[in-house]
Amino acid sequence: MKEYDKRWKEQENMESGLRTLIDERELQLLKDANKVLDLGCGDGLTLAFLVDKGFDVTGMDYSEVGIANAKKRVSKKAKFVLGDIYQPLPFEDEEFDAIIAYQVINHNTIEEIRKLLKELHRILKPGGVFSVKVSDWTTYGYNYVDGLCYDEFGSILKPIGERTFLPIAGWEKGVIHYDFNKEILKKEVEDAGFELLDMRNIKCHILGNFRKK
Ligand SMILES: C[S@@+](CC[C@H](N)C(=O)[O-])C[C@H]1O[C@@H](n2cnc3c(N)ncnc32)[C@H](O)[C@@H]1O
């Protein structure tokens, strides 16, 4: 069973903490969008919000429990794809007007994240919005003790490469995390063919809005 299956089983309807709904700024950016991909939709908190706003939403996640919970949450029709986002994505070129990816693209090594960003560029329409939220632990000031890093939720994170951590206990045990900062996020997403619109910190995360050139 995937770690995230356990999490979504234990935390059905968890709505607090670090989770963000689409803010006014993102709604403004999405105003001309119709088809939206929620990458790593989890239990569908953001996805259900977008469905209620009238968007044609597709959610993708590899957690069966997450998707099952998301299906219960949506009031109207939405599409779901169960699969690994680090494999070639099962979508057409330029299929989406916008992509939302909150707390998901950072779940691998930087090499795999670069391939994913190219895939996201491929499936987004020119001019389409890519809104992405990733962790930024080192800037936020997570504590290191004896070479391990501890987050505020009780995860113990073992460094396995530059800015790359493997949680060895806690919710996300076994799920690699790449720790971005604003400069790295800007560079990596721009290198994949996007331009930066704006960026802000949300506690230990960064939310960046980009547009496909
Ligand atoms: C921290 S949760 C964020 C969920 C949601 N986007 C939100 O903001 O509340 C990360 C989600 O990414 C999914 N995920 C992680 N790695 C994945 C992968 N390789 N392929 C598909 N989904 C993945 C997990 O199953 C989980 O639902």
Q: Is the pLDDT of residue 3 over 90?
A: no
Half-sphere CA count of 118, side-chain side, radius 13 A? 9
Q: What is the pLDDT of residue 16?
A: 46
Q: Which two tokens stand for residue 177?
A: 């995390």
Q: Is the pLDDT of residue 18 over 80?
A: no
Instruction: Report pLDDT digits (tens) over 54-113.
Output: 999 999 999 999 999 999 999 778 999 999 999 999 999 999 999 999 999 999 999 999
Ligand 1 in reach of 62 Cβ (< 6 A): yes
Q: What is the pLDDT of residue 148?
A: 77
**Contact partners, residue 31, CB within 8 Å, separation at least 6:** none
Ligand 1 in reach of 86 Cβ (< 6 A): yes
Tally Cβ neighbours within 10 Å of residue 92: 9
Report the atom number in ligand 1 closest to the C-alpha of 84: 20
CATH 3.40.50.150 for domain 3-137+179-212: yes
Q: What is the pLDDT of residue 169?
A: 81
37 CA → ligand 1 middle, Å: 13
Ligand 1 in reach of 107 Cβ (< 6 A): yes
Task: Identify which of 107, 137, 171, 175 to mutate to test ligand 1's pocket (most ligand atoms within 8 A of the CB).
Answer: 107
Q: What is the pLDDT of residue 8?
A: 73
| Domain parsing of the chain, residue ranges | 3-137+179-212
